[in-house]
Amino acid sequence: MTMKKLFLITLILTSCSDSDKITSYRIDGENAKVLWKGSTTDHSHTGSFEVDGYAKADLEGNLTEGEFSIPISSIDNYDLTGDVKIQLLEHLKSPDFFNALKYPKASFKLIRSVPNTENSQGLNQLISGEFTLLGTTKMITFPARVIVDKKKIEVKAQFTLNRTEYGMVSYTDPDEMLYVLPEVEIDLNIKGTKDA
């Protein structure tokens, strides 16, 4: 066998090996939720958004790529019922908050995911990416628990977002009758399945 043929075979095998190390997963609203909690000084509301998108990971469990879309129309509330619940959801979709007609989606684009050296409470990855809300994009970083195998992926994380940093500034005056705290608690529960 000539050196040229040997080189070509080695190159092909290496390319196949590299592609086999990366697995792509589909994320959909049936298996992925972003839970939220917004608070005033004397009460709070909880709910969720659906998430669609994809993620890629290597065999070591590191996320290598991912983009996620959050339809604002999918917002739900868990602590109210009936007309009061409907009124809250419509208010949250209004220009006072998410302005869903102008900005129908929020999004997150993965920039990097590295092993979390602290790794407390099973949070084995430190995820960084670009989060876009109300047309404003900012880099955010948070620790997460990432579980990967050849058939599925699971990402769990808890952190806070300051809504005012994205232009959501209604009800931010403590002297107003309704004062909504700037910090919103986020609980990610993302599950995906391997692409066919």
Which domains are assigned to the chain?
22-194 (2.40.128.110)
The arithmetic mean of pLDDT across residues 103-117, rounded, is: 96
What would the pLDDT profile of 36-55 be if each residue is shown by its tens digit? 999 999 999 999 999 999 99
> Please, is 163 exposed, middle or buried when counting C-beta atoms within 10 Å of its C-beta (0-12, 13-18, 19+)?
buried
> What does the pLDDT average to over 117-140?
94
Whether the full predicted model's pTM is greater than 0.85, yes or no, is yes
Q: Quick one: pLDDT band at residue 146, thresholds 50, 70, 90?
A: very high
* Residue written as token pair 């040229």: 4
